[in-house]
Structure 1
């Protein structure tokens, strides 16, 4: 079975944070669906916040930010989780994706998720996150996962959240499994110059 790499981008600011907790659950469920050979690489944006800002100002990533960017670019799939600020994704979350190359997420399977204090902000998945990743030409799975504070408060609520997590993770695993493996550049055979002149390529 092919080994896969999943990049997890989490924009929680506190430590510990419900955003990181949700990211870990999504990563664990995706890894379980894909198999134990799957590698999960987590990027805590709070750890590169200054680097992201400097990159926006100078246009040059630090080595630490370059490593995070390369992790996302080279991964087979992306799990992106943001806290909700002012009814949208956080500024740090958006800034990180602003510094990526415009083709970095082209066609990449993605699972979108968010955390917030109230269920009223669950529409952030469809009205903020999906348009952003559509612009980046990623391929989000159908199920987005939103976790409000109440989703962590009882066994029943946590169980319902876990069902959404496993459904979204299963969809991401299916997309990753169906994606063709990366292939190298095609090899071109050399053609004699005389043959090129005669048009007999």
Structure 2
């Protein structure tokens, strides 16, 4: 049975530098035989998120996708020293133990190294409150490590070697821990 990793993006901009990181992770995981699903919180109806509509068909389907995944990558840009409010509104709609039994990999990107601890002090506590206990590390990237280029064929991203190496190592850990968890079940 193939492992499935859901990449949950909290970016309101589908062409942000975070998209370059997500694209790299998708490619890396797919090369390891992992099925990758991608859920952008921005694709969910704003009113459902803001008004906490647990019964919304779109929210229920998004929650079902999280439930089906063996592992979840939670990715967000840093906004005001934390993850985005967009991501928070979706996480608030997950069931109380929505991440229980899943391996989780938090990813954040910010403009300065000063926000490096946003993963530890802002994101991981919320993920833990949702039942996450197995973390496959974490990756914090600087905006300057991802170059976004407009081309006639669309936007392309170039990641610095050091960041690419850290993402590849995190993807390998995630794939390995997900496989180990499947064996324990």
SS in 2 for 1:180: helix
Hey, what does 1:84 align to over in structure 2?
78
Tell me: higher relative CO, structure 1 or 2? Use CA pairs within 8 A at least 6 residues apart.
2
Tell me how far 1:177 sits from its aligned partner.
Answer: 0.5
Matches within 5 A, 1:144-183: 144-153=138-147, 158-180=160-182
Verify the 8 A CA contact 1:110 1:138 in the aligned structure 2: yes
Tell me how far 1:164 sits from its aligned partner.
Answer: 0.6
Structure 1: gaps spanning 5 or more residues: 184-201
Verify the 8 A CA contact 1:130 1:140 in the aligned structure 2: no
Of residues 52, 56, 59, the one that matches 1:65 is: 59
Verify the 8 A CA contact 1:151 1:157 in the aligned structure 2: yes
Matches within 5 A, 1:1-201: 2-33=1-32, 35=33, 38-50=34-46, 51-54=48-51, 56=52, 58-61=53-56, 63-153=57-147, 158-180=160-182
For residues 159 and 75 of structure 1, the distance between their equivalents in structure 2, rounded to whole angstroms, comes to: 29
Hey, what does 1:186 align to over in structure 2?
none
TM-score (norm 2): 0.85
Question: Which structure has more strand as a fraction of its residues?
Answer: 2
Tell me how far 1:27 sits from its aligned partner.
Answer: 2.6
For residues 49 and 181 of structure 1, the distance between their equivalents in structure 2, rounded to whole angstroms, comes to: 37
For residues 24 and 101 of structure 2, the distance between their equivalents in structure 1, rounded to whole angstroms, comes to: 24
Q: In the comparison of the two structures, how many residue pairs are matched?
A: 175
Verify the 8 A CA contact 2:70 2:178 in the aligned structure 1: yes
TM-score (norm 1): 0.79
Tell me how far 1:181 sits from its aligned partner.
Answer: 6.0
For residues 68 and 87 of structure 1, the distance between their equivalents in structure 2, rounded to whole angstroms, comes to: 26
Hey, what does 1:187 align to over in structure 2?
none
SS in 1 for 2:96: coil
Listed one character per residue, the Cα deviations across residues 129-159 of structure 1 (whole Å, up to 9, x for unaligned) are 2212122221343421112111125xx9710
Question: Which structure has more helix as a fraction of its residues?
Answer: 1
SS in 2 for 1:65: helix
For residues 136 and 162 of structure 1, the distance between their equivalents in structure 2, rounded to whole angstroms, comes to: 29
